Structure 1
Amino acid sequence: MIKLEDLRKIDVKGMYKIYDEWPKIARESYFSNLSEINFERCSHIVFAGMGGSGAIGDIFSAILSKTNTHVTVVKGYHLPRTVDSKSVVVITSISGNTVETLAMLDDARRIGSKIIAFSDGGRIYEICLKNNIEHRNVSKYHSPRASFTSFLYSMLRVLKPIIPIEESDILESIENLEKISKTINSENISMSNPAIQISEWINNSPIIYFPLGLQPVAIRYKNSLQENSKMHAMIEDIIESSHNGIVGWGTKNNFQPILLRGQDDYTTTKERWEILKEFFESQNIEYKEVISENGNILTKIICLIYLLDYSSIFLAVKLGVDPTPVVPINFVKERLH
């Protein structure tokens, strides 16, 4: 098992220190002095962003899925034709320089949509300032992926007038972050730490199974394993996989199944989990279950992300790789125009 000195030595830029502060950053961001948007509530909100910024859009999509608000998450260069002047386009780029997101900002301006942008400066800020577009500057901590709670909770504050999310749900999520931090942060480098338990279990490429409501968690965890742990990972919808993906387990492979479960998954989803577990056991395939906290959907999602993100840092240390550098991403970015 890793030791604290391993964490300090391998995580050279101290990413883990920012994760220790995630609950504090979440609380300070939500109760910051950022002004709320003055748009009227609308029926269509578009979240445009890439990577960790795009994952924030996935979270809003999940928590608004049972409301009357239509949410579109776009990761790419162009907005869909369903976006019009009545849509609110939420532009998110932590660096403020993401080329795809800049292109979507241009699209939104051309369409005449209502726009609110979030970044830590960069070209997005400059464009918004020049064109009188609503912009909120949000602090980056260490790296875009480590800045997750800073941006998510700042956006929850600013977007309150147009998103039907109860403040009690937001406060519950922060309180639960504070609670689980006591067991998963760097002050508990032991096998009683659930994040370390997960990192110690992984020795091959994970296939992450999820129910629909926890899709943002699966996407974020895949990304964190890829960026922090420098390893391949796949995600599978538990229901859809029963019609195709499960066949791959019929041959010998080096994948490991991780089952992301909600405390109160839908009845038929619970049934599917039990069938999948029965199948794995019949094939002598070891699996890992990760179950959410109790609470509203935001609480479930953000607490799972906290646990799993931290496990990806511990896994990086276990593998002897610094979680911070993302050399292949920089290779691509340097060649983009």
Structure 2
Amino acid sequence: MSLGRGAGEPGASAAGLEAARQRLDDPAAVARLDPYGMLRLIEGLADQAPAGYEAGRRAVPERPAGGFRAVVVAGMGGSAIGGDLLKGATAERLTVPVEVVRDYRVPAYVDERTLFIASSYSGNTEETLAAQEEAARAGARVVALTSGGQLGDLAAQRGWPVAKIPSGLPPRAALGYSLFAALGILEAAGLADDVPALVEQTVRALGEVRERMGMRRPLRDNPAKQEAVELVDRLPVVYGSAGIGAAIAYRWKCQINENSKHPAYWTSLPELDHNEVVGWEAPPPAVARQIRLILLRTGDESPRMQRRLEATRRIVEGAVAGLAEYEGTGEGQLARAMALLHIGDYVSYYLAIAKGVDPTPVRFIDRLKAELATMR
């Protein structure tokens, strides 16, 4: 699963790494560093799936004459990643396209035959509120996916269906609600079926990850804790395959950014093999010695993509300080994808603990929002 740290490589001191290891198996240290309970939220991801699905399937949109011909999910940050996963998970199931909009504007094709899911966990995301207004003016069938806020108020005023999810969570910790609520909305719109089976498969796969990666599993037997130690003084670069694999790689990157307060980068195959792979041919040695490459496999890659992953690994692994691979397990594509994603949740959490930082606050985002508020 992992290629470890090489001898003589620069980085954290031996004493610093040992302190990081000890924190990961010290309940008192974990409790001190995680006062808001991010671990509890990560471990509760499996419980969110059925609740999110129930919320979504009750939000029944009005079906246009001739049926829907497009699905658009508008959101930002943790509220948008569910849309990315929805797009990847339904690419081979739906006969209409799914697009994710992270902007104030919506595509020109949005009209009365568009199912428009306005996804804002807080209900106050300015980009999503602006996009929703454009979609409504274009006649789209709007469904609000939110815990409340301005979006919830607008939906109540205008009679839009609402997939109401619980409040009080960091948006990134509400992914199970937002993804499965979106799937429930598709079912309610007559665009998806077999969603209960997807929920059941996913819950089971996430439970297996929790058993293998949870806090009670000690460092010596816990791949997520071991990966966190490797990343303490490394820059992670995450590779996934196109489609849902790209969405998972992006989620890993974002979780490491937000939970670990740590830079990380991502991209996907096969596109990276047409540009980024050449960057490993002669990288600055001081930079290359800090890079840890993480390859993600959903288990559903085509034979050609599998060969490409193997070839890419062979070409790149000699240029970086370390390399690890992870593969999703479970029954069904979505279950395997969510299991792979959930490993990243645990890695990002343990990296925060190993570094001695609180995983929950996102102070730079709060600061940015405060500064933008003064510019209105």
Partner residue in 2 for 1:129: 156
| Partner of residue 293, structure 2 | 257
> Which residue is equivalent to 2:143?
116
Instruction: Kindly tell me the number of residue pairs found equivalent between the two proteins.
Output: 337
Change over 3 Å in CA distance of 1:51–1:148 after alignment to 2: same
How far did residue 257 of structure 1 move?
A: 0.8
Partner of 1:140, secondary structure, is coil
1:229 alignment counterpart: 260
TM-score, structure 2 as length reference: 0.85
Report what 2:46 is aligned to.
23
1:46 offset after TM fit, Å? 0.3
Tell me the alpha carbon deviations over residues 159-208 of structure 1, each in whole angstroms, 9 at most, x when there is no partner: 31333242322321112112222222222243322321221221311111
Instruction: Measure, in 1, the Cα distance between the counterparts of 2:56 and 2:160.
Output: 19
Q: Distance in 2 between matches of 1:36 and 1:231?
A: 38
Map 1:194-273; keep pairs closer than 5 Å. Answer: 194-202=223-231, 203-213=233-243, 214-249=245-280, 250-251=282-283, 252=285, 253=287, 254-273=290-309
Name the counterpart of 1:6: 29
Question: What amino acid is the match of 2:240?
Answer: F
Q: How does 1:273-288 map onto structure 2 within 5 Å?
A: 273-283=309-319, 285-288=321-324
What's the TM-score, normalizing by structure 1?
0.94
**1-10 or 313-322: which moved more?**
1-10
SS in 2 for 1:209: strand
> Which of 54, 76, 93 is 1:50 aligned to?
76
Work out the CA distance in 1 between the residues paired with 2:80 and 2:179.
Answer: 11
Match of 1:179 among 198, 205, 208: 208
Alpha carbons of structure 1 residues 246 and 105: separation in structure 2 relative to 1, 3 Å: same
- Relative distance call for 1:38 and 1:124 in structure 2 (3 A) is closer
2:362 is matched with 326
Matched, 1:169 2:198: yes
Contact 1:62 1:216 in 2 (8 A): yes
Contact 1:11–1:322 (8 Å) recurs in 2: yes
Task: Report what 1:298 is aligned to.
Answer: 334
Kindly indicate whether residue 120 of structure 2 is the aligned counterpart of residue 90 of structure 1: no
In structure 2, do the counterparts of structure 1 residues 185 and 165 end up closer, same or farther at CA, with 3 Å as the change threshold?
farther
CA contact under 8 A between 1:216 and 1:301: conserved in structure 2?
Answer: no
**How far did 1:74 drift?**
0.3
CA contact (8 A) 2:250 2:267 kept: no
Partners in 2 of 1:175 and 1:91 — Cα distance?
Answer: 29
Note the residue ranges of structure 2 that are not aligned, 5 or more in a row: 1-20
Distance 1:172 1:191, change over 3 A: same
Whether the aligned pair in 1 keeps the contact of 2:56 and 2:183 (CA below 8 Å) is: no
| AA of the residue aligned to 1:293 | T
Is contact 1:49-1:74 (8 Å) kept? yes
> Could you tell me how far 1:285 is from its partner in structure 2?
4.5
Superposition CA RMSD, Å? 1.9
What stretches of structure 1 of length at least 5 have no aligned partner? none
Aligned equivalents of 1:104, 1:24: Cα separation in 2 = 30
Q: Is the 8 A contact 1:263 1:294 kept in 2?
A: no
- Among 311, 322, 328, the residue aligned to 2:347: 311
Distance 2:225 2:53 in 1: 29
Cα separation, 2, equivalents of 1:38 and 1:191: 50
Moved more, 32-41 or 280-289: 32-41
AA matched with 2:159: N
Does structure 1 retain, via aligned residues, the 8 Å contact 2:61–2:141?
no
Query: Contact 1:280 / 1:287 at 8 angstroms: preserved in 2?
Result: no
Pick the aligned partner of 1:192 from 200, 206, 221. Answer: 221
Percent of paired sites with the same residue? 26
Which shows bigger deviation, 310-319 or 260-269? 260-269
Tell me which moved more, 290-299 or 228-237. Answer: 290-299
1:232 Cα offset (Å): 1.3
Structure 2 match to 1:59: 85
> Could you say what secondary structure the match of 1:142 adopts?
coil
Which has the greater radius of gyration?
Answer: 2
Distance 1:311 1:157 in 2: 29
**Would the alpha carbon gap of residues 219 and 295 (structure 1) be closer, same or farther in structure 2, given more than 3 Å must change?**
same
Alpha carbons 2:56, 2:163 under 8 Å: kept: no
